Structure 1
Amino acid sequence: MNMKKSKVTLNHGAGGRQMGLLIRELIVEKLSNGILERLDDSAILKNNLSAGRIAMTTDSYVVSPLFFPGGDIGRLAVSGTVNDLTTSGARPYALSLAFILEEGVSFETISTVVDSIAKAAKEAKVLIVTGDTKVVEAGKGDQIYINTCGIGFIEDDALQISSHNLKKGDVIMVTGPIGNHEIAMLAARKGVDFDMSSVESDVAPLCLPMQKVLVKAKQLIHAVKDPTRGGIAGVLLEMSEHSQACIEIKESAIPIDKGVHAVCELLGFDPLYLANEGKFVIACEESAVAFVEEFFKDAKVIGKVSAQAQAQGEGVKKGVFLEVLSGGIRRIAPLETTQLPRIC
């Protein structure tokens, strides 16, 4: 199969010989494992747990362009899925991988994306165990869309990690500088004139360092969120609503890279709402801070849970409040408009 010259045709989605070649030579060969190679209609997985819970998530990826500073749609698909599983305290185990390909996309492009998927899956120590491929006519897609499903195991029944589980006195942490992914997408898509060469997407699987945190911190971790679309503002508002809690954060404590800050100043973006693909927002007891900082070297405490309703109907001023640099207080509101579409 000549990767550089070949392109997807409608025949590659028709269920015949050409579809078989594409799946076997362009996808399965790169993601090879004994489960996937069977090419059955469903994957049979061993449950090695005598106890515990199963976590499951699904996601779709329509990012444009496919390749951007720091990553691509393949790395994004694996990272986003395993990170969603990790937010429940699960150890990601296996993913499904479904492609929707546009007629005319080159085999070389697909091969590069699958290579990236294989690399990210190896980093995350997860298996790609089943999948699907469909082809749509030219002009009715945008090269490659990906859908995933992920499953993982929560091995410690004592872990209760949820946005519904915040407690008064919890500290709020972010595991590193915010906003890099959305600004990298802006650079890739808009071709902005000023220098953004230092800004790359933070896209990465975070399951392994988070698992190490949980081994030490255990029940001290109350909530973990993946601040993708809507940024850290979006997930903090969700935490506040779900837990009937008041969250206070400080602008001076929020880590932002210089390049991201410069773009926000110039274009009027609020970094709190910018998407991230390799960060967690964590609510935990103060005694867990050192464990988070041990495995996330750029992690910072950015605020606290100042109040939380102990009973249904208890009057607590819920919401997210930002202490700005000047010392005033700003209430964080839900995002009303799209800052940049198709960023994941």
Structure 2
Amino acid sequence: MPEFSSELPLPHEPQQGLVERVYRAPGGREIPVLYARSDLRDDHGEPIGAVCVASDITHLKRAEGSLREAKQMAEEANLAKSRFLANMSHELRTPLNAVIGYAEMLMEESDERGLQGSVDELRKIQFAGKHLLGLISDILDLSKIEAGRMDVHLETFDVADMVEAVLGTIRPLADRGHNRVVVVCPASIGFIHADLTKTRQILLNLLSNAVKFTDHGEIRLTASKTLRDGTPAIQFIVADNGIGMTQQQLGKLFQAFSQGDSTTSRRFGGTGLGLAISKAFCDMLGGTIEVKSQLGVGTMFTVRLPYSDPHELSLSRRSGSFSRTVAEAARAAAARAAQLKV
């Protein structure tokens, strides 16, 4: 007859609910058992007995072990995939940059010689090369995030200058779709201490999406300072009056390689990585990104990112202390970079 394992409590112990026990068979084999015990009481609440049930869960434990092993193998395969993409993306960018560079050199030379036909053809090569480079950069960013190799670099920068630099890239794209770009970013917004590259990339992705899905409309970018849970934050709102989205499309908006539907993908192109990367960057920086949209009316993204005041940061460094906000952001980034899955 099976015996109780000497390492575990016996079933007559006063416990309620479900408890796992291990029985040991005469041959020494351990049998995992799910043990349930419930007290029986009379009408006055006095205990009069108990009901005990023991179920053999050997098959359940084996299934759990198989699932754990499969999960570990899947995670290892995903990590290997991310590392492979990161390495391949880097190797692809090097020759592609050379192609773009030579195309630009040939464009200048053709322009000097008055060969306008050649300039137009070379411009197509340059545009296609830059488009491909952008796609590769997105894949590289995504693979770095998944592999936990994306770092946060904090620096002091002027918000208005950063916004103007982003608009320099977006305005030509907006002009092609006959869109008007409206910017509300007061110069008095001043300097902040945050991750410039990721903040700029988030805005570029959101504005690029707004331009892509809007025709003969308006794209509005609003930048302001606010508080988020008592912590200083910079807020960016990107709104458009483009095609908008349904609630079903909003549900999978931030998934990698996902777009609204197959029709959207065929008509507007793209890989569906921009918003996934923006969401990942917001998470890494300790911020948030929210979206509201209505089909046929438009879409509005709201991004809030924590920052440190450069003046307070300077004072804290002189006094030998370090900004609490920056320190917390760095710790959070280090933890999230290792765990983040897009």
Same fold (TM over 0.5): no
The TM-score, its normalising length taken from structure 2, stands at 0.25
The TM-score, its normalising length taken from structure 1, stands at 0.25
* Structure with larger RCO (C-alpha < 8 A, sep 6+): 1
Which structure shows the bigger proportion of residues in helix conformation? 2
Larger CA Rg, structure 1 vs 2: 2
